[in-house]
Structure 1
Amino acid sequence: MTKKTHTLVSFYFLSVLLAFQGVNAQDSKKDFVNSEHEGWMVNVEEAYQLSEKTNKPILANFTGSDWCGWCKKLNREVFSQPEFKEWAAENVILLELDYPRRTALPAAQKQQNVELQQAFRVTGFPTIWMFDLDKPDGKRFQIQAYGKTGYAAGGASAYIKNLEKMIELKEKSVN
C-alpha cells in the first residue's frame, strides 16, 4: 500500500457504533456546561441534529482547556481568529469535547466526552477530528471520519487549508 493510499484509508477507517446512554437532546442545560469559546457546542446530540439539518460535517476539538498548553495555543492562533470563525460558520459544526483538570464537568457531559475519546482513540491533546454521524437504528451513532489533526503552526489560513482537504474527502465519499 502506498503512503498516499494508506493516508486515504486511514481517514475512512472509523465506522463504529457508539451508544450514549443518558445523553440526548432532551437533557437539561444543567447536564452540560457551555463552552467558553463562542460558536462551539458541547452536546454531541445537538451537534448531530444541526449537522443533519445543515449537511455540514462535525469538527470536534478534543481539548484540555485548563491545562493543555498546545490546546491554548491552537485556540489563540486558529480557533479565536476571525478568519477561522467565518470559515467554520460556513463549513462545519463545531463541537468541543473538553477534559479539564481544574473544573468539574456535569456527569452526562463527562460520560459523553469519555465515550467519544474512546471511540476515536484519542490519546493526546489537542486532537481534532472531522466526521459525520448517522443513527441507522435511531439509538446509536455510526461515525464516518474524514480526518484528524492536532496543533499545526501557520495560523488560521494554513489550518483552514488542511481542514478543506478533509472536506474534499467527505465530498468524494458522497459521490
Structure 2
Amino acid sequence: MKFLTIFFLTLTTSPTWLGNFEAAKTEASQKHKLIMINFSGSDWCGPCIRLRKEILETATFETYAADHLVLVRADFPRQKKNQLPKEQTQLNEALADRYNPEGKFPYTLLIDENGKVLKAWDGFPNKSPEQFVADVSAYF
C-alpha cells in the first residue's frame, strides 16, 4: 500500500517539461512563476543524465517545481533513434541561440517571465536536491 501511495503522489506532483519557450513564458506570466530552462544531451552527456536523475527527477525538486516553476527542456540527443521532431529541434536550436550560444551541457537557467536570466548553473551543480531547491528559492 505504501508503494502505491508514493507512486500516485509522484504521478500527481511531477511537473511537465515543456518544449516551447513562448508557451512557458505565457504560463509563467499567468501563474506568476519563474522559468527553468535545462539544456541537455539526454543520450550522450553523462553530467546531463546525472543532473536529471539525481536532482531534476527527485521528489524534492519535482514537488517544489510543481508549485513554483515552469520547466523547459531543450534536449539535443545524438542517437538517430532518439531524434526529436524537426519542429522541436528548431525550437531547441532557437532557444540555444538566445540563451546558450556556447553550447554548454548541462546548462540550466532560472529566468523571469520576461526572459531575464536570474541564475545559471554551468555543468552539474554538485548539490543535493535540497540545496538546489534552496538556490532556486532564493529568487522568490
Tell me which interval the TM-score lies in, with the shorter structure as reference length: 0.7 to 0.9
Shift of 1:154: 2.6
Question: Residues of 1 paired with 2:102 and 2:134: CA distance?
Answer: 23
Q: Deviations over 1:122-162 (max 9, x none)?
A: 4211100111344xxxxxxxx21111103122320111122
Cα distance, 1:66–1:107 mapped onto 2, change above 3 Å: same
Question: Residues of 1 paired with 2:90 and 2:73: CA distance?
Answer: 14
Question: Residues of 2 paired with 1:81 and 1:161: CA distance?
Answer: 14
* Structure 2 partner of 1:125: 105
Alignment counterpart, residue 145 of structure 1, candidates 104, 117, 131? 117
Higher alpha-carbon Rg: 1
When the two chains are superposed, the root-mean-square deviation of aligned CA atoms in Å is 1.7
TM-score normalized with structure 2 length: 0.80
Which has more helix, going by share of residues?
Answer: 2
Shift of 1:81: 0.6
Identity of aligned residues (%): 28
Count of matched residue pairs: 123
Question: Residues of 1 paired with 2:32 and 2:17: CA distance?
Answer: 17
* Structure 2 partner of 1:161: 134
Question: Residues of 1 paired with 2:43 and 2:102: CA distance?
Answer: 18
Q: Which amino acid aligns with 1:107?
A: K
Question: Residues of 2 paired with 1:55 and 1:38: CA distance?
Answer: 16
Task: Answer yes or no: is 1:98 the counterpart of 2:75.
Answer: yes
Instruction: Return structure 1 stretches of 4+ with deviation > 2 angstroms.
Output: none
